[in-house]
Chains A and B, each alone.
Chain A
C-alpha cells in the first residue's frame, strides 16, 4: 500500500496555555473594590482559623501538655492499644466489605438497565440520610436479646452485639455509600464500549474486568476506599449504640476518647484524639493527590 495519510499529533501544551488564559480572564473580571476583597478574604480566613485550625492546634497542645513521655505513655496503655487494634480491625472489615459491595452496586447501576434502578440509587444513599444512632439502634432491634434474631443467636451461642461483629456491621452500614458513590459517575461516564470491544476481541468476563474495567476505575476505587476508611475509623454514633463500652474489649478509638475525657484524663483523651486528627490530615493530603489523578484520567478520556 502506498497511500499516505497526513498525521497530526495532538499536544498538551496548547491546553495548558488555554487554561492559563482562562484563569487570567477570570481575574480580570473582578470588579469589587480592593477594600471589599480584603474584608471578604479576611472573614473567610478568620472563620476557618477559629473553627478548623484552632481546634486542631488545641488537640495537639492538650495531648502534649504534660510532655512527650506522658503522651507516649497514654498511647502505650493496654486499653488504648486495644482500642487502636479494634479500630484498625473494624475499618479493615468494613472497607473490605464495602469495596466489594460498592463495586458490585456501581457496576450494576452504571452498566445495566433494569427496573428499580432509581430505587437502588436512592437506597445506596440511605446510610447518609439516617442518623448514625438510629443505624445502630436498628442492629440492636435485630440482634439484641429482645430483638428479632436475639433468641436464635443466643441458642446458637453467637455473639453479635457488644462484640466485634456488631461493631463491624454498624460501621459497614454507615460507610456503605462511599465506594459506590465514587464509582457510579465515573463508570457511567466511561460507558460500556471498552468492555464490548474487549469481549468482541475474545476476552472472557474476568479478563475484561481485570484488564479493562478495573484499570479504568482504579483511582476512583482508591478515592472511595480512602473516604470510607476515614469515616470507618472515626464513626462514633452507630458504634456507640452497639459496642457496649466494655473496656479493653469493645471500645474503638472515638469511644475511648469520650470515656477518658469524661474521667478527666485529658492527656490520654487528647493523645488518642491526636491520632484521629493525624488520620484526618493524611486523608486530606491523599484525597488531594487522588483528585488530581482523577482529573487527569478525565482529561485523557476527552476526545
Chain B
C-alpha cells in the first residue's frame, strides 16, 4: 500500500509540530523518519495511524482519503515506543486481541485464532512465552510481542514509533537486523521513527530527515550521508567538523585567513564549512588548507582521534588512521578530502 501526505500542518498551541510536510511512501518500502526530538516525526506517524488529526493537509492510502477514516478503520499496525502491551493479559491474549475484537460477522473461530497467534509467536520466535504476562518479559521480548500483536490484524501499513528507543545497545543492534529481515519476509509498507542515525541508515531503504516540523532531505541512506542537502542534515548525520567561514571575491576565509579551497558557485556571505572527521587528511606543515597543533590523542581501535588547535584559534576533532602516529605537540597540516559549504540561513 502506498501512502501520500500532502502539505500537512499540525500545531500544539503555538508550537508548530508539522509545518507543511509532503511525503510519498512507495508500496513495500521500509522508510525511516529521522530527526531530533521535537522535529515532528512522531506526530507525523500518529497522524498517519489516525491517533492524531492534522490542522490541515491530506493523507491518502493508495489514492483514497485516509483522514475520512478513524484509527479503527484504517487497518494500520502501530508499535509504540513503550510497547503499550495490555498488562493484565497474557502474551497470547495480547497477540489475539486484534482478532477477538473483530465484528462478529468476520470474526474467526477459536481454533483459527489460536493457530494464527501461534504462527505469529513463531514468527517473532517467542512461542515459549505465550502464557507469561508482559511484566515478566525483558524489553526486547516486549517489543517483539508488540510487533506480533500489530501484525495479527494483517495491517496494510506498519508504523513503529522509536521501536528500539527503550532498549540497551546490544539488544538494539540484534533487533535492527531482525526487523530488516522480518520486513523482507512480510514485505508490508513500513515507516519507523528514530532519532538514532545509525539505526535509520542501517535498517531503512529510504531515510526522511526532519527538523522543526519540516522535511530537510529525503533519500537513500547513502544519499543523506554522502551528499547532505542542508547544513542541518550534515551536522545531524555522521560526525562533522563545523567551521564558520566567509565567502568573498571567490575566496573562502576562516577568520582573516584565506583557505586554499575552491569557492566556485558559492554565494558570497557568512557560511559554514562541513568536513567529516575522517575526511581530514594529515600532512606535514604547509601542505594543506589548515595548519594546527595536536592537543590530545586517543585511540579508538583502527583510528586515532586527535584534538587539533587550528592557527585561527578554533579547536576541532579529527579521526586519522593508525600507522602514522600523532603526538600531542605535533605541528601538522590538514587537507579536507571532501567538504561542503552551506550559506548561513
Binding site for B on A (CB under 8 A): 1, 3-10, 193-194, 196-204, 207, 211-212, 215-216, 297, 299-303
A202 proximity list for chain B (CB < 8 A): 72, 75, 98, 101-102, 153
B178–A194 CB distance below 8 A: no
B77 proximity list for chain A (CB < 8 A): 200
B170 to chain A, nearest CB (A): 8
Assess A7 versus B181: contact at CB under 8 Å? Given A193-B80, A196-B78, A201-B149.
Answer: no
B181–A3 CB distance below 8 A: yes
B97: contacting residue among A3, A193, A203, CB under 8 A? A203
B138–A199 CB distance below 8 A: no
B80–A5 CB distance below 8 A: no
Binding site for A on B (CB under 8 A): 49-51, 70-72, 74-78, 80, 82-88, 97-98, 101-102, 123, 125-126, 133-142, 144, 149-150, 152-153, 166, 171, 174-175, 177-178, 181-182, 185
A196: contacting residue among B84, B142, B177, CB under 8 A? B84
A119 to B134 Cα, complex, angstroms? 37
A114 to chain B, nearest CB (A): 14
A117 to B74 Cα, complex, angstroms? 31
A-B contact count (CB 8 A): 104
A200–B87 CB distance below 8 A: no
B80–A216 CB distance below 8 A: no
**CB-CB nearest in chain A for B123:** A1
A1: contacting residue among B83, B98, B185, CB under 8 A? B185
B80–A196 CB distance below 8 A: yes
**CB-CB nearest in chain B for A200:** B78
A201–B101 CB distance below 8 A: yes
A303–B166 CB distance below 8 A: yes
A5: contacting residue among B51, B82, B153, B178, CB under 8 A? B178
A303: contacting residue among B82, B98, B175, CB under 8 A? B82
B51 proximity list for chain A (CB < 8 A): 196, 199-200
A215 proximity list for chain B (CB < 8 A): 88
A12 to chain B, nearest CB (A): 8
A1 to B84 Cα, complex, angstroms? 26
B175–A1 CB distance below 8 A: no
B78: contacting residue among A3, A10, A197, A297, CB under 8 A? A197
B237 to chain A, nearest CB (A): 27
A103 to B87 Cα, complex, angstroms? 20
B12 to chain A, nearest CB (A): 10
A4 proximity list for chain B (CB < 8 A): 125
**CB-CB nearest in chain B for A205:** B72
A204: contacting residue among B72, B80, B134, B136, CB under 8 A? B72
A3–B178 CB distance below 8 A: yes
A203–B101 CB distance below 8 A: yes
A66 to chain B, nearest CB (A): 52
A3–B177 CB distance below 8 A: yes
A203 to B103 Cα, complex, angstroms? 9
A196 to B70 Cα, complex, angstroms? 12
B101–A5 CB distance below 8 A: no
**CB-CB nearest in chain A for B141:** A7
A157 to chain B, nearest CB (A): 48
A283 to B58 Cα, complex, angstroms? 56
A299 proximity list for chain B (CB < 8 A): 135
B174–A6 CB distance below 8 A: yes
A117 to chain B, nearest CB (A): 15
A6 proximity list for chain B (CB < 8 A): 174
B174–A197 CB distance below 8 A: no
A199: contacting residue among B72, B144, B171, CB under 8 A? B72
**CB-CB nearest in chain A for B159:** A200
B150 proximity list for chain A (CB < 8 A): 200-201
A200–B101 CB distance below 8 A: no
Assess A9 versus B101: contact at CB under 8 Å? Given A3-B181, A199-B71.
Answer: no
B166–A197 CB distance below 8 A: no
A224 to B136 Cα, complex, angstroms? 28
B78 proximity list for chain A (CB < 8 A): 196-197, 200
**CB-CB nearest in chain B for A195:** B84
A219 to chain B, nearest CB (A): 10
B134 proximity list for chain A (CB < 8 A): 300
B144 proximity list for chain A (CB < 8 A): 5
B181–A194 CB distance below 8 A: no
B97–A300 CB distance below 8 A: no
Assess A1 versus B181: contact at CB under 8 Å? Given A7-B138, A202-B98, A202-B153.
Answer: yes
B181–A200 CB distance below 8 A: no
